Amino acid sequence: MKSLCILLLSFFILTSCNNNGEKDNSLLPKSVGNINVLQVITPNELWNGQVGEAIRENFAAPTDGLPREEPLFSINQMTPEGFTSFARSSRLFLYATVGSKDNISIGNDEYAKPQAGAIITATSEEKLIAFINENAQKIIENYHKTELAERQRRSSVSLMKSDSLENVMGVSLKIPSAYRIATATDEFFWLRKDLKDGTTNILVYMAPLNLITSDSTAIGEIIKIRDSIGSKLLPVEDDGQFVTEEAYAPYIFTTQIDGKFAYETKGTWEVKNAWMAGPFLNYAVRDEKNNRYLILEGFTYAPSVEQRDLQFELESILKSAKIK
């Protein structure tokens, strides 16, 4: 049965090509699924053993920068026999099984569009686990890229007008129309969206280039900048201060925003002397032409709900930035 499933996968790939041997994506159905939901296709005996443990350790690992543990992806498992018809429309999938050869394929739009998937076969469970561990990061990056694009596509259905942000701060963002401007000055923009129990928020402000001096000191300097802005410009009741939570060390990475170097910082904010806290995502974008760091930040206050996908929406908005 395992060999038959692999043959069916190969047949589907071959029959989806045009006369030139290239894949004809125009025939693919539309993919389905909630954001960051991963369909894992593997036999039950593998899922309940060490192969399943390897999959969960990599793809359900805790998401960076959240105050409570939430997995990178919400995983649904099914057997290879069930991976037919509509089931193949899942936007993210991982196919892992033991077969007659060792092979791994990582790609996009295999059975639906848009879609990111990986097909891993190995001649033993040990080799299958090794393949999963060795290639997990590359697969996750492909999933993440696909989900960001999908989140941005969904947001673009109804966007707010942000002309004032572009005119004053020199940056445009694709912001869903559910957001509103809470504060707008020549130096600071605060936009927010009301949730049933909380808010998601976007901050845009600037800092001189010389305030972030090197990679080794960047994390401390970024925290110093965001705390000085948040404590002064975000209104908090009872004289509290909006600052970075000291008990949890932030994560810092390097990335690019609109082709420009940026520091990406993830951590937890708090209001001093109050029972308020939540996750934040901060991009310090090096904008040398304008002699500044442009700071783009998203943070969530929603203590009673899971916050992974709320922060993911904020990430998709911030990464849509276009800088003058």
Q: What angle do CA 20, 26, 31 make, to 5 degrees?
A: 130
Cα(180)–Cα(182) distance, rounded to whole angstroms? 6
* Rounded-to-integer distance, Cα 297 and Cα 281, Å: 6
**pLDDT per position as a tens digit, 257-286:** 999 999 999 999 999 877 889 999 999 999
In this structure, are residues 267 and 294 in contact, taking their beta carbons and an 8 Å threshold?
no
> What letter represents residue 67's amino acid?
P
What are the residue ranges in the chain where pLDDT is below 70?
1-24, 237-239
Strands 260-271 and 242-244: antiparallel
Per-residue confidence (pLDDT) for residue 8, from 0 to 100 = 47
Report yes or no: 58 and 173 within 8 Å, Cβ to Cβ: no
Percent of the chain as helix, strand, coil, to the nearest 5: 35, 35, 30
**CA–CA distances in Å: residue 40 to residues 44, 53, 69, 75, 316:** 11, 12, 21, 7, 25
d(CA 113, CA 153): 13
Query: 280: burial class by Cβ within 10 Å (0-12, 13-18, 19+)?
Result: buried
CB 60 within 8 Å of CB 298: no
d(CA 184, CA 321): 18
Q: Which CATH superfamily is domain 163-323 in?
A: Mog1/PsbP, alpha/beta/alpha sandwich (3.40.1000.10)
- The helix/strand/coil state of 188 is strand
Give the Cβ contact number of residue 166 at 10 Å: 15
Q: What is the number of residues in the chain?
A: 324
Q: Which amino acid is present at 257?
A: I
Rounded CA-CA distance 251/248 in Å is: 9
pLDDT for position 307: 97
Q: What is the pTM of this model?
A: 0.90
Render pLDDT for 213-243 as a digit per residue (tens, 0 to 9): 999 999 999 999 999 999 888 877 666 789 9
Residue spans of the domains in the chain: they are 2-155, 163-323
Helix, strand or coil for residue 125?
A: helix
Contacts of 316 (CB under 8 A, 6+ apart): 148, 151, 152, 155
- What are the structure tokens assigned to 157, written together? 């259905």
Alpha-carbon gap, residue 117 to 105, rounded angstroms: 8
